[in-house]
Amino acid sequence: MNHELNVFALVWGASLPVKVVLLMLVLFSVLSWIIIFRKMAMINMANASANDFEERFWSGSDLAALFKDVNSSGERIAGIEAIFESGFREFARLRQRRGVDSRTLLEGAQRAMRVSQSREVERLEQNLEFLANVGSISPYVGLFGTVWGIMIAFQGLANVKEATIAMVAPGISEALIATAMGLFAAIPAVWAYNRFATRVERVALRYETFLEEFSSILQRQAHVDD
């Protein structure tokens, strides 16, 4: 308990620039953890939604019925469902036109799906850049606070004839807290960025695989119409 009180006392007694640095790092850390929990929930939901939809898709359901079911859910269409919905909608729209060949049908559906895929992947990647920036910047922000604190600590010895460790220890301890806080903000952000970047890449690959498989199905249907 005394150790905790001493740490808080050092922070409270720190110079204004060091306090500003610590406040920035605390803010970075809080925002990072908010993004981490939200991103974790978002990616888990994307995978769960993909599992559910692919089970229905490959169960042999009629595509038109599945399209109607997706649009009648009343919820925001996202993930693989959004890719399917945009592709089938464009395919059905072009098929109603006269004189549209199978190649045009397929290319139109693929363009619509690619746009939807890019939008969904971009949504999953949102705020990952912030985590990367926190991970790279925070240690340097903390180091700035440390250097500033050490400068202040040694300036206090200018008018002292005999300096002792006890005289500079509080100032140096105050300064090192900034470095510790910088690492505290950076380490989770770097770990989360690497972890989520890998998971988003896997989800994006899953979307790409579905897009190609669905394109093959639409291609067969387009040739049947011909």
Taking only the tens place, the pLDDT of each residue in 86-136 is 999 999 998 888 777 888 889 999 999 999 999 999 999 999 999 999 999
What is residue 4's predicted lDDT score, i.e. its pLDDT? 46
Cα–Cα distances (Å) from 17 to 24, 100, 146, 182, in that order, read: 11, 68, 10, 15
What is residue 168's predicted lDDT score, i.e. its pLDDT? 63
> Could you tell me the pLDDT band of residue 8, with boundaries at 50, 70 and 90?
low
What is residue 154's predicted lDDT score, i.e. its pLDDT? 73
- Reported pTM: 0.82
The SS3 assignment for 74 reads coil
Q: Helices 63-71 & 16-57, crossing angle to 10 degrees?
A: 140
Taking only the tens place, the pLDDT of each residue in 37-91 is 999 999 999 999 999 999 999 988 788 899 999 888 777 889 999 999 999 999 9
What is residue 134's predicted lDDT score, i.e. its pLDDT? 96
- The answer to whether 81 and 70 have CB atoms below 8 angstroms apart is yes
C-alpha to C-alpha distance for 176 and 147, rounded to whole angstroms: 9
Which token pair is 160? 């002292």
C-alpha to C-alpha distance for 226 and 221, rounded to whole angstroms: 9
First and final CA of the chain: distance in angstroms?
A: 80
> Could you tell me the pLDDT band of residue 1, with boundaries at 50, 70 and 90?
very low
What is residue 20's predicted lDDT score, i.e. its pLDDT? 87
What is residue 183's predicted lDDT score, i.e. its pLDDT? 94
Taking only the tens place, the pLDDT of each residue in 157-216 is 666 666 566 656 666 777 788 888 999 999 999 999 999 999 999 999 999 999 999 999
> Could you tell me the pLDDT band of residue 3, with boundaries at 50, 70 and 90?
very low
> Could you tell me the pLDDT band of residue 13, with boundaries at 50, 70 and 90?
low
Mean pLDDT of 17-29: 89
Cα–Cα distances (Å) from 112 to 32, 77, 83, 224, in that order, read: 34, 14, 8, 21
Mean pLDDT of 17-28: 88
